[in-house]
């Protein structure tokens, strides 16, 4: 069975493939489909954006599709950057600029006031519409400097208190046991397994 992941983000796709590797799925992405429709992520929540991606791309490909939206919410910033996580630093955004903006905004705050969490919503849809939505959350702290070379996004700043290290220092083996994406995809994993049993001939 083919599962289309509604993303062009290679790093995100790699994580999703790693977490779903136990399922017998052929996982493809928007990079495998010429001229996919443009998806404007204008939802007010991660869930709304994930659903929009899944439903729109499932309609386009006529195949089972996974839409995912995730980001960072910082308590001291009133939940920002939230759904704007990937474009927090503006028009010429990139991971480094986004991280540096977070550091500027939190300058002078002690670690106990730098609480944050990663949030992820995953939606599954097929040609007939929405199948399911799952969510995951991972709590941590925002560090004072970028540390680690692994991961992407805000991983070099996101400290897991239990390890006193960032996701970018800990690497995928530990990250995939506790991350927001892992939690949401673990739930969707079960739904996918059921979907495969009910729809054995689905492409």
Give residue limits of the domains in the chain. 2-198
**Contact residues for 174 (Cβ-Cβ < 8 A; gap 6+):** 160, 163
Q: What's the mean pLDDT in 163-172? A: 95
**Contact residues for 25 (Cβ-Cβ < 8 A; gap 6+):** 1, 2, 3, 192
Q: What confidence category does residue 23 fall into, taking pLDDT thresholds of 50, 70 and 90?
A: confident
Query: Which residues are catalytically annotated?
Result: 69
Q: What's the mean pLDDT in 99-122? A: 97
Q: What confidence category does residue 197 fall into, taking pLDDT thresholds of 50, 70 and 90?
A: confident
pTM surpassing 0.85?
A: yes
With 0-12 / 13-18 / 19 or more C-beta atoms within 10 angstroms meaning exposed / middle / buried, residue 181 is buried
pLDDT for 59 beyond 70: yes
Separation in Å, CA 114 to CA 89, 95, 100, 194:
19, 19, 15, 40
Q: What confidence category does residue 203 fall into, taking pLDDT thresholds of 50, 70 and 90?
A: low
Domain at 2-198: CATH code: 3.90.950.10
* pLDDT attached to residue 81: 97
pLDDT for 202 beyond 70: no
Q: What's the mean pLDDT in 136-151? A: 96
* pLDDT attached to residue 124: 97
């Amino acid at each position: 069975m083919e599962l289309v992941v509604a993303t062009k983000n290679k790093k995100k796709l790699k994580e999703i493939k790693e977490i779903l590797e136990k399922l017998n799925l052929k996982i493809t992405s928007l990079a495998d489909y010429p001229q996919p429709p443009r998806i404007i992520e204008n939802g007010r929540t991660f869930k709304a954006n994930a659903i929009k991606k899944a439903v729109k791309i499932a309609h386009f490909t006529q195949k089972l599709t996974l839409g995912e939206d995730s980001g960072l919410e910082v308590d001291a910033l009133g939940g920002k950057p939230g759904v704007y996580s990937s474009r927090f630093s503006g028009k010429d955004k990139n991971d480094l600029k986004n991280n540096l903006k977070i550091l500027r905004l939190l300058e002078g705050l002690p670690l106990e006031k730098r609480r944050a969490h990663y949030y992820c919503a995953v939606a599954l849809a097929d040609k007939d519409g929405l199948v399911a939505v799952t969510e995951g959350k991972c709590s941590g702290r925002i560090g004072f400097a970028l540390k680690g070379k692994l991961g992407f996004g805000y991983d070099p700043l996101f400290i897991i208190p239990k390890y006193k290290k960032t996701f970018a220092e800990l690497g995928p083996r530990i990250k995939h046991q506790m991350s927001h994406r892992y939690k949401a995809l673990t739930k969707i994993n079960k739904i996918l397994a059921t979907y495969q049993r009910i729809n054995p001939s689905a492409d």
